[in-house]
Amino acid sequence: MKIRPDPGLTFDDVLLVPRRSAIRSRRDVSTASWLTPDIRLQIPIVSANMDTVTETRMAIAMAQHGGIGIIHRFMTIQQQAEMVERVKRAENMVVEDPISIRASATIAQARQLMAEEEVGGLMVTDENGILLGVVTTRDVLLAETPSDSVQTVMTPRERLIVASKDETLENARRKLHSYRIEKLPLVDEEGHIVGLITTQDIVKIEQHPDATKDSRGRLMVGVAVGARADDLERAAACVAAGADVLVVDIAHGHSDHTLQMVSSLKKRFSVPVIAGNVATAEGVRDLADAGADAVKVGVGAGSICITRLVTGFGVPQLTAILECAEMGHRMKVPIIADGGVRNSGDLVKALAAGASTVMLGSMLAGTDESPGAPVVRGGRRYKVVRGMASLTANIQRKAIEKGEISEEDWGEVVPEGVEAVVPARGAVADILHQLVGGLRSGLSYAGARNIEELWEKAEFIPITRAGMEESGPHDVEKF
Ligand code: XMP
């Protein structure tokens, strides 16, 4: 047994000391950072792979605003792969494989397909993929005979404006505008449908200039996987669906099975692999040696975690980030600070301690884009957030795996997380705006133009409880 001489520190134990700054405006700083050595984010924020935080909607919103979402793994492989597909379809320069339907299909079938795929129009093709027409929601919604064929309501090929597959975005934009159309199908010389450019996609590209996109202009998305045998299958399905990054999500990530999983994934797939969670420099070193492209740091720091109470293990989050980041910087492996961030001040401290990005759970769980509907209590709206090792999450997981659960299953669970609620907080864009505003201000207090300079210039000062009390509103009445 040994005991470390210095106490571990967390966010409330320190402040950052203001430095001389040449920065005139908060706009003069960059908040860009690396998720992995290959994935650059315009804002260093990642939404947590929790079932009350990141599914399709959150992943889309996070990537649109310059961060990224990691879709949780507590669902079937097929469901997770479908969520990835939806994110990848949400924005495109060109939809490469537009959803199609046969001319002989019924209007009812077209309606159903549009609803299932969440699209506003379908390419109508023959059995060889030759474009015969386009059918949109407007054509089918109020049609009186749903058993009629799609052919009877579609806009036929001869009345369509189409373009070749090499159409530039600029030309496409001009055509869409001058003909006042919303969809521009792309066809090859024989008339096969080979792509689609939509007005909506062009508008989205212009609305979200900082979006995190892949080389084909699609939003980027990550997925969480575990370390069991069928998780290789899970990873394969998600990568095939377009996942850009895999996150090996294990509570004690400094373990042999996590290391093995990382090296198996690295051998099998070409997408980057993030691994965690760890709270020590040795954890970072071993995961990086196994091939991890980035390491997630945080054991027991999360708002809904009780790991430290149940097991006695954990490292206060600021100390964990400081130690892990030193090793991460040495091995050129970005660190993701995961857990315990409650405001933009904590975000700045986590980055200043050496993290490249920060993962948020309960801060984003109350937004419109998190899964689930708000609940009303005492006239106020809340959303549920739960630890992925909580009792109900464990039971749900067993139910998915076994199909049904017994009374013993309930008794067997030793939860390391809790179920809770957070106030409903509106659009995630507004939360991100506040966080990024705080980060920009923080960079200017440090005299740092970007996150790398923040690492160099940051100086933490430990504070007392009195110092902490002085840091919040005090001696006034809040309303
Ligand atoms: P915040 O504080 O942002 O933390 O809500 C989110 C992170 O908490 C971790 N997490 C858990 N940790 N038991 C734990 O010990 C759990 O049940 C649990 N669920 C989530 C996870 O790292 C997440 O990103």
- Mind listing the pLDDT tens digit of every residue in the chain (479 residues)? 999 999 999 999 999 999 999 998 888 999 999 999 999 999 999 999 999 999 999 999 999 999 999 999 999 999 999 999 999 988 888 888 899 999 999 999 999 999 988 888 999 999 999 999 999 998 988 888 899 999 999 999 999 999 998 888 888 999 999 999 989 999 999 999 999 999 988 888 889 999 999 998 899 999 999 999 899 999 999 999 999 999 999 999 999 999 999 999 999 999 999 999 999 999 999 999 999 999 999 999 999 999 999 999 999 999 999 999 999 999 999 999 999 999 999 999 999 999 999 999 999 999 999 998 899 988 999 999 999 999 999 998 888 888 888 888 888 888 899 899 999 999 999 999 999 999 999 999 999 999 999 999 999 999 999 998 999 888 888 77
- Report how far ligand 1's centroid is from the alpha carbon of 49 (Å): 9
Does any ligand 1 atom lie closer than 6 A to the CB of residue 388? yes
Query: Quick check: 125 and 193 in contact, CB under 8 A?
Result: yes
Residue 222, helix vs strand vs coil = strand
Nearest to 86 by CA among 223, 265, 275: 223
Domain with CATH 3.10.580.10 in the chain: 95-198
The DSSP element (H or E) to which 277 belongs, if any, is strand 273-278
Which residues does the annotation mark as catalytic? 305
Ligand 1 pocket mutation pick from 11, 12, 45, 50 by most atoms within 8 angstroms of CB: 50
What was the pLDDT predicted at 91?
A: 85
- Report how far ligand 1's centroid is from the alpha carbon of 47 (Å): 11
Residue nearest (by alpha carbon) to ligand 1 atom 24: 48
Cα dist from 238 to 105, 129, 232, 248, whole Å: 30, 26, 10, 13
Domain with CATH 3.20.20.70 in the chain: 11-90+211-468
Query: Helices 56-64 and 77-90: crossing angle, nearest 10°?
Result: 30
Does any ligand 1 atom lie closer than 6 A to the CB of residue 100? no
- Report how far ligand 1's centroid is from the alpha carbon of 306 (Å): 9
Annotated binding-site residue? 338? yes
Annotated binding-site residue? 251? yes
Does any ligand 1 atom lie closer than 6 A to the CB of residue 338? yes
- From first CA to last CA, the distance across the chain in angstroms is 50
| Half-sphere exposure for 464 (CA within 13 Å, toward CB) | 1
- Report how far ligand 1's centroid is from the alpha carbon of 113 (Å): 37
Cα dist from 327 to 142, 199, 228, 231, 283, whole Å: 62, 47, 28, 28, 9
Which residues face 383 on adjacent strands?
422
Does any ligand 1 atom lie closer than 6 A to the CB of residue 42? no
**What does the angle CA 461 – CA 464 – CA 469 come to, to the nearest 5 degrees?**
110
CATH of domain 11-90+211-468: 3.20.20.70
What was the pLDDT predicted at 451?
A: 98
Q: Which CATH number fits domain 95-198: 3.10.580.10, 3.30.9.10, 3.40.50.280, 3.30.460.20?
A: 3.10.580.10
| Half-sphere exposure for 82 (CA within 13 Å, toward CB) | 8
Cα dist from 89 to 100, 112, 264, 315, whole Å: 14, 18, 28, 40
Query: Quick check: 446 and 25 in contact, CB under 8 A?
Result: no
What was the pLDDT predicted at 399?
A: 86
For the whole model, what pTM was predicted?
A: 0.89
What was the pLDDT predicted at 402?
A: 80
Tokens read off for 177:
């505008």
